[in-house]
Structure 1
Amino acid sequence: MTRDSLENLRRQLAEFALERDWDQFHSPKNLSMALIAEAAELVEHFQWLTQAQSKTLPAEKLEAVSLELADILLYTIRAADMLGVDLIKAAERKIAINHQRYPAHRVRGDARRASEYED
């Protein structure tokens, strides 16, 4: 198992929660609420920035953004664990679905929703 695997992170999070008796709070509902709160905190860092500014964050802001992204990842992993979802398999399925919904020849350079493309 590599140091940076999702499985390793899942185990660390499960142990962290177990040591603190937090499983009782880690329902899928609560974890999804925490996840959206962290996503909102991430958005705050980009509010009012231009597209260019959002791509070249100062070091201090990039560090804060990194920690928000980590929170999002960790809550996602924990929620998946509580639901028995294999995130790698789910992500691979979703990528395959997106290939079908957004064929490159049809959507290149166009960022509409799949339902907005004519058949």
Structure 2
Amino acid sequence: MNLQELTQRLHQIRDTNDWQRFHSPKNLAMAASVEMAELVEIFQWLSEDESRRLPPEQLAHAGQEVGDVVLYLLLLCSELGLDMDQVVRAKLADSERRFAR
């Protein structure tokens, strides 16, 4: 996955639709949260086992919501001047240091 290419494509959509005025860090964080809530809704009321065996339609829906969350987070990183690859790698290294045995 080329994050720079994805971000450029997102910026093209944003610019074509004149959405940049809405893409403040606050709004993007809230939008990512809303999309995450839509993902959580798919699993609401399912058992642990059911959540691991989603029917194809629900699995596709979950994938769409995951995509929405990731795309909003890419836009948020862009607005904040963060390199997503770098921040994710730094967080992973921190988790490995703290939790790996």
TM-score (norm 2): 0.96
Q: How far off is 1:103 after superposition?
A: 2.8
Quick one: which of 67, 83, 93 aligns to 1:86? 83
Q: Please, which runs of 5 or more residues in structure 2 have no aligned partner?
A: none
Quick one: which of 72, 90, 97 aligns to 1:100? 97
Quick one: which of 2, 7, 20 aligns to 1:5? 2
Which stretches of structure 1, 4 residues or more, deviate above 2 A after TM superposition?
none
SS of 2:18's equivalent? Answer: coil
Is the aligned partner of 1:51 residue 2:48? Answer: yes
Relative contact order higher in (CA < 8 Å, ≥ 6 apart): 2
Cα RMSD over matched residues? 0.8
Q: Distance in 1 between matches of 2:59 and 2:84?
A: 26
TM-score (norm 1): 0.82
Q: How far off is 1:99 after superposition?
A: 1.4
Equivalent AA in structure 2 for residue 76 of structure 1: L
Q: Any idea what the Cα deviations from partners look like across 1:46-72, whole Å, max 9, x if unmatched?
A: 011111111110011011111100100
Q: Please, which runs of 5 or more residues in structure 1 have no aligned partner?
A: 105-119
Percent identity for Structure 1 against Structure 2: 39
Report how many residues are paired: 101
